[in-house]
Structure 1
Amino acid sequence: MTDIEIAQKNKMIPVADVAAKIGITADKLENYGPYKAKITFDELRALQEKAASKPGKLILVTAVTPTPAGEGKSTVSIGLADGLNKIGKKTVVALREPSLGPCFGVKGGACGGGYAQIVPMEDINLHFTGDIHAISIANNLIAALIDNHLQQGNELGIDPRTISWKRCVDLNDRALRNITIGLGGRLQGVPREDHFSIAVASEIMAIVCLSRTISELKERIDRIVIGQNYARENITFGQLKCTGAIAALLKDVIKPNLVQTLEKNPAFVHGGPFANIAHGCNSVNATLCALATGDYVVTEAGFAADLGAEKFLDIKCRAAGLKPSAVVIVATIRALKMHGGVAKADLSKPDTAALEKGFANLKTHIENIAKFGLPSVVAINKFITDSDEEIALIEKLCRNVGSQAILTEGWGNGGEGAKDLAKAVAELADNGKADYHPLYELDLPLADKIRKLAKEIYRADDVEFDSAALKKLKAFEDAGYGKLPVCVAKTQNSISHDPKLIGAPSGYTFPVRDVQLYAGAGFVVALAGDIMTMPGLPKAPAALDIDVDDNGVISGLF
């Protein structure tokens, strides 16, 4: 059966029953139908306090560099949470919300797969509770208010050439990357160049995911830098005096969503920033709710350890005061063989030589996680084509670098197939060896933070900054933003900036072509290589296979 067929055959229990398993009563839920709910503000505040006084143990799931062969990070995260519950460890999983762009494009959704899924799968992958739509509208209201200010006399003297705020839509649409607006005459607005990002790369998405309260949300929205005036002074959105309206659109978005796994275990699914162009983690609030209600919390960060895990550890954990206890690095034998040079069509054939060569990618990620003071274990997400010889080789290679590889079969067997991984992870989280610390200090100049990431995580020899990017970094520092962390936007398909450099590239120069200030979110974005904040659709998008019948039953979603 396909993933969606497995999900549709599952019999869900009411979300109130899921909540009861973790001590949340029905009156503390705001239901979106029988199987989805948000947490009320009263309960959210109570759980925040509980997480601060007695948090559970936080387990991060990351992965090797993605390949077309697939890795299954969400599947392993969900299977691991179910597996931990099966061995008697009270566990909650906290994941991101899927973006519609990948759902109708090429990557797919983010609900796991096989018998390790969160449900209702179709709802979560499509409109869910409307969070991403509300974020898009809030983002675009800011854009409309900026352009209206220009039209109505421009009291703040905003230089239209410097406006950095982009519009957004939660779809892959390359035609919107660069546009011209305000055409048609004096009554139609001020003509200027404009741009779109995908909604999950919006600064509003990052702000929602990092804010604990409405007050903090408004403070961050106030701080958003939207451009400069003609005197080259920064203009913040707070100067337009419309922050309350934006916060009103987001008042429900800040509340975490509760759903369930196929095995009826609780799952908080909230926030959806991309890890290749944003900070790539679910919301702080969802993580705190999970920590308050579970003895163990499994969470994932997007793409590989050089992207999602690094940003989780350098941005989110630092901002929220989180201290992870263990890390799981997901790999497949198929993916590692691709990193060793095997074509996708030949992955079913045993090839220990290519596997050993491709192991260099996994080894780099193991080493990188150790730089944050965290112990890790490798989860080998099993495929039917994996040979015993290949499995034994991966186990040996991991032992040689001081790690442990554990075969995981969550896709086929749910929590039962992840029990071995669950036992190893619980032991790792309980042994007290974690000594989490960020990779860099915030006092470092912005350019030096980027260099440290490029050299220590991406393994570059040097960094080449575009001259305009260096000028902007200096301007950010002169304006008082020098102590912000950095969020590197780069390809997910390589540890480097170049998607063609598979495996474990080194000895290259890392190019930074532009930087952007996300003052509200609280970080500086560095764009490397050819990365775009608005993806495009492939030649054969997933939308070609998706349909719905007269009973509302969706097919082809995965």
Structure 2
Amino acid sequence: MKTDIEISQNSELLPIGKIASKLGLTDQQIEPYGHYKAKVTLPFNSQTDKGKLILVTSINPTAAGEGKTTMAVGLSDALSELNHKTAIALREPSLGPVMGMKGGATGGGYSQVIPMEDINLHFTGDFHALTEAHDTLSALIDNHIHHGNQLNIDPRQITWKRVLDINDRELRHTVIGLGGRTSGVPREDGFDITVASELMAILCLSRDIKDLKQRISKILIGYTYDRKPVTVADLKVEGALTLLLKDAIKPNLVQTIEHTPAYIHGGPFANIAHGCNSIIATNAGLNTADYTVTESGFGSDLGGEKFMDIVTPRLGKNPDVVVVVATIRALKLNGGANKDDLSTEDLAALAKGAPNLGRHIQAMSRYGKPVIVAINDFTSDTDAEIAQLRKYVADNFNIPAITCYEWAQGGKGATELAQAVVKAADNTDQFHPLYQDDESIEAKINKIVTEIYGGDGIELSNKAQKQLKQIVKHGWDKLPVCMAKTQYSLTDDASIHGAPEHFKIHIREFQVKLGAGFIVALTGNVLTMPGLPSHPAALDMDVKDNGEITGLF
């Protein structure tokens, strides 16, 4: 059996100009990065209601795999095969999970975006530009303090850390400025991973360069000795930081194995940020295709909810259809099956684990738009298991549950799903947001916990309670909430699977992201700088003398 990279390397790539022409893009609108990648120049038409928007989300991720990106790619290829002008909009992979444990973000099997090696590694340099811009701000903050500190910034209250696009637990907590007076002012600091940077969120929520600069100017970098907020605008460096991102703000254009155009741009994590590709890329799809398929990070409790409540108000377009991806294997794992026995038929474990899918269907259905379940096929799935899961979905929710074979068959394996999506997309159902801006932070979080996670409410730590008072004092409480929570559970405890009840979410602290325009609520032990596993994926990677890459999934 061929690996993903072998399938990718043996696939025919069309020149990027031919892919662009499928969307009606001219040579003047693309900036090629080699033969098979390009930046797409701004601006785009602002009529975001031109095409249909399909959101692909999933159940909670497990070690058994769900294949959400694979499904999104397969669906886009299937729509193309049905002669619908289609584009897909995805996030860029971070080197952290690529070199660590999770893997890449280009799909798998015969449902991939290619060239997968380029996309999973340095691509067009967007993440490097973000890293440099972020750390330039860090350097400018410390330089300001070193040269007199006219803004009276309290070094103990600087909230802007440094970043690196790799998992490195050693850098979570550091001390900088050692070495004497010429080496700056000593203080505690730390690193986040680049995808957790507020600049990443800002890039993905900005409409254009002007909006990008305005958002950067609002970034809260810390407080003065008398507790007054200090922003980038106070430092007067928003222009320089925007300059470093002038190319990174342009969406990237590549293709699927079946030559469906793919916009890939931005990559905030969904467990510590909002987890969706840029609204510029999604808007590009909506204005150049009849159907745009996009994906939100992790399960519907994270990326799905954040797409609905953080992204769509800025995009100006709500999803026409939501696809929830599940696998028999993952649901059996949620039902208590041993991970080594997932290839064995187990109707009891499947019945016990199916309510996890049910909770995600309920979460997405409450927004008012049609929901379809996509069952990602594995060869070990039995007819009895598939029939049981379909019956569960039909009996409890009266919506389609369609088995898909896109990993092995590409677009042909998702034809039935594509047909159902096209039918469902012609709806006039009203979108119902989860909360209103004028509700309190606590009320917003309570709605997320009770209506999306299925819990009973929240508990705030003493630190979070004090921070909340400051948030209200400064008038920041009208911003939406971005939950930082484990992806592996509907709770804030990664070990609790299935569809638990009667639990509370524990908020340990808040982070104010004025540039991104949301308040982050950190729960449990979610880390903004992950560590590498005992066997990092990097150990299996290599490059041959002729430049051919091996071991990249």
Q: For this structure pair, what is the TM-score category when the shorter chain's length is used for normalisation? A: over 0.9
Q: Within 2, Cα distance between the matches of 1:504 and 1:195?
A: 36
Listed one character per residue, the Cα deviations across residues 323-356 of structure 1 (whole Å, up to 9, x for unaligned) are 1100000000000000000111000000011001
1:525 aligns with 2:537: no
Instruction: Give the structure 1 partner of residue 229 of structure 2.
Output: 234
State the SS of the aligned residue for 1:227. strand
* Shift of residue 372, structure 1, vs aligned partner: 1.0
Instruction: Give the structure 2 partner of residue 258 of structure 1.
Output: 253
Q: Within 1, Cα distance between the matches of 2:167 and 2:360?
A: 29
Contact 1:48 1:285 in 2 (8 A): no
- Structure-to-structure mapping, 1:30-69, within 5 angstroms: 30-41=31-42, 45=43, 47-49=44-46, 51-52=47-48, 54-69=49-64
* AA aligned opposite 1:327: V
For structure 1, which segment, 328-337 or 401-410, has the greater mean C-alpha deviation from structure 2 after superposition? 401-410
Instruction: Give the structure 2 partner of residue 406 of structure 1.
Output: 402
Instruction: Give the root-mean-square deviation of aligned CA atoms.
Output: 0.9
Instruction: Give the structure 2 partner of residue 292 of structure 1.
Output: 287
Contact 2:363 2:453 in 1 (8 A): no
Instruction: Give the structure 1 partner of residue 367 of structure 2.
Output: 372
* Shift of residue 462, structure 1, vs aligned partner: 2.5
Instruction: Give the structure 1 partner of residue 123 of structure 2.
Output: 128
Listed one character per residue, the Cα deviations across residues 354-405 of structure 1 (whole Å, up to 9, x for unaligned) are 0011001000000010111121100000000000000111110110122211
Listed one character per residue, the Cα deviations across residues 459-515 of structure 1 (whole Å, up to 9, x for unaligned) are 222311011111112211211211100000010000110001100112112100010
Instruction: Give the structure 1 partner of residue 547 of structure 2.
Output: 552
* AA aligned opposite 1:26: D
- Structure-to-structure mapping, 1:55-204, within 5 angstroms: 55-204=50-199
Q: Of residues 213, 216, 221 in structure 2, which corresponds to 1:218? A: 213
* Shift of residue 25, structure 1, vs aligned partner: 1.2
Q: Within 2, Cα distance between the matches of 1:482 and 1:74?
A: 34
Q: Within 2, Cα distance between the matches of 1:237 and 1:353?
A: 56
Instruction: Give the structure 2 partner of residue 490 of structure 1.
Output: 485
Q: Of residues 256, 269, 279 in structure 2, which corresponds to 1:274? A: 269
Q: Within 2, Cα distance between the matches of 1:462 and 1:83?
A: 41
Contact 1:318 1:438 in 2 (8 A): no
Instruction: Give the structure 2 partner of residue 445 of structure 1.
Output: 440
Q: Within 1, Cα distance between the matches of 2:446 and 2:157?
A: 27
* Shift of residue 432, structure 1, vs aligned partner: 2.9
Q: Of residues 403, 412, 418 in structure 1, which corresponds to 2:414? A: 418
State the SS of the aligned residue for 1:474. helix
State the SS of the aligned residue for 1:138. helix
State the SS of the aligned residue for 1:487. strand
* AA aligned opposite 2:428: G
Contact 1:18 1:264 in 2 (8 A): yes
Listed one character per residue, the Cα deviations across residues 503-542 of structure 1 (whole Å, up to 9, x for unaligned) are 0112112100010000000000000001001111111111
1:460 aligns with 2:455: yes
* AA aligned opposite 1:203: E
Listed one character per residue, the Cα deviations across residues 224-256 of structure 1 (whole Å, up to 9, x for unaligned) are 011110111100111111111101100001111
Q: Within 2, Cα distance between the matches of 1:175 and 1:450?
A: 32
Structure 2: gaps (5+ residues): none
State the SS of the aligned residue for 1:162. strand
Contact 2:367 2:433 in 1 (8 A): yes
Q: State the identity %.
A: 55
Instruction: Give the structure 2 partner of residue 324 of structure 1.
Output: 319
1:534 aligns with 2:529: yes
Listed one character per residue, the Cα deviations across residues 57-76 of structure 1 (whole Å, up to 9, x for unaligned) are 10000000000000000000
* AA aligned opposite 2:34: G
Q: Within 2, Cα distance between the matches of 1:300 and 1:267?
A: 12
Contact 2:543 2:549 in 1 (8 A): yes
* AA aligned opposite 1:116: S
State the SS of the aligned residue for 1:315. helix
State the SS of the aligned residue for 1:297. strand
* AA aligned opposite 1:18: I
Listed one character per residue, the Cα deviations across residues 170-190 of structure 1 (whole Å, up to 9, x for unaligned) are 111111111111111111111
Structure 1: gaps (5+ residues): none
Listed one character per residue, the Cα deviations across residues 297-335 of structure 1 (whole Å, up to 9, x for unaligned) are 100000000000000000000122111100000000000
Contact 2:283 2:315 in 1 (8 A): no
Q: Within 2, Cα distance between the matches of 1:394 and 1:48?
A: 43
* Shift of residue 290, structure 1, vs aligned partner: 0.1
Contact 1:455 1:462 in 2 (8 A): yes
* AA aligned opposite 2:181: R
Listed one character per residue, the Cα deviations across residues 4-52 of structure 1 (whole Å, up to 9, x for unaligned) are 00000001000000000110012211110010001123xxx2x333x34
Instruction: Give the structure 2 partner of residue 430 of structure 1.
Output: 426
* Shift of residue 195, structure 1, vs aligned partner: 1.4
Contact 1:59 1:297 in 2 (8 A): yes
